[in-house]
Structures are given as structure tokens and as C-alpha cells.
Amino acid sequence: MRYILNKLRQRQSRNLLDNYYWQLWFRYHTVFFGSLIFSGRKLNAFNIFLLIKQGLKLKEKNDPYKIFLVALMMVTPNVYLLPIKLGGRSVGVPMPISEKKKITLGVKFVIKLLKERSVSLSVKLLVDLLISSVYGQGPAVERKIALYKAGNQNRHLLVKLFKRIKRIKRIKNKK
């Protein structure tokens, strides 16, 4: 398995124009590939990813690696809603997140949407979801937009969160 992945990396590294593009694609690929591994079935996940790549190439007639990267970049959120309790209800406060966490959340959006629709992972549904997100449509992009709108509405709660953090630090310093 490792030999096959090394050969794929070597072949792709010759075709890529930019080292940054390769690093970014590799991050998305490893997180996505890791989320496909269910209970130690690495070979099954590898075969699913090859089928996804083949489906992307047949539908778009372009480089499937670029389509995959652009689709997941379109789904990747910029903020994270940190849940805090206010008045007995949980409210999401927008917080900036690191690049690795952004990639992880983007992949989680895609995988959760697929698992909501069916019990097993369907390659055709995944390919359709990725292609629709390239064009800025589909449920994954809508979920990203809804997350951003909720964060924008709850922006005023950042002040309360920081006051709460300062109060907790003051209490800890007194002890």
C-alpha cells in the first residue's frame, strides 16, 4: 500500500506547477482519506478514493485532483462556532480557526452530508456533491454559508465570552 501511494505522489509531483498547490492538495487528501478508513479497512478506502477520482474525471473531463481540491476548498469554513451556554441555551460564538482545523471541518461537512443521505458511502453521491460544490451550489456550500451567517449574527457574543474568560483568569490568579 505504501509503495502505491509513493508512486502516486511521485507521478503527481512531476505534473504539479506549484509546491504550495501540492502541499495543500496533500493536506486535503490525507484528511479525506483518513475519514474514509472505517475500522481499519485501508485498502477499501483506497479503492473508494480511486473510484471517486475516476468519477470526477468522467464527469468533468479535467484533472480530478484539481477538481477535488477546488471542491473541498469551496466547502471549507473560515470560522468555527464555539458553543457556550447563555441563559440555559447553547449559542455558537464565532472563533477563528487554524488551517488544519479548517480542512478537517470541510471534510467533515462532506462526510456528514453523505452519511445523512444513506447508510453506506455512495461514490456517485460523493462525486455529485463535489462537482456541485465546485460551482458554488449544493448542500455543503449552503451549510458553509449558514455557518457564516450564524457566526455573523452571534458576533456580539464575543464580548461576553472574553469577559467570562477574564473573570475565570482573575479567579484562578487569586487562588
Residue 132's H or E segment, with its range, is helix 123-134
Instruction: Summarize the confidence of residues 138-164 as an average pLDDT.
Output: 82
Say which range, 6-15, 61-70, 113-122, has the weakest mean pLDDT.
6-15
- Identify the residue whose cell numbers are 476548498: 73
Alpha helices, H only, 18-98: 19-36, 42-60, 64-75
Fold of 2-78+99-155: Ribosomal Protein S7 (1.10.455)
Report the pLDDT value the prediction gives residue 8, as an integer from 0 to 100: 63
Global confidence as pTM:
0.71
Contact present, 56 and 64 (Cβ < 8 Å): yes
Q: What is the pLDDT of residues 20-63, one digit of tens each?
A: 677 777 788 788 878 877 657 778 888 888 888 888 888 888 88
Q: What is the pLDDT of residues 58-111, one digit of tens each?
A: 888 888 888 888 888 888 888 888 888 777 788 888 888 888 888 888 888 888
Report the pLDDT value the prediction gives residue 113, as an integer from 0 to 100: 79
Residue 109's H or E segment, with its range, is helix 99-117
The DSSP call for residue 39 is T
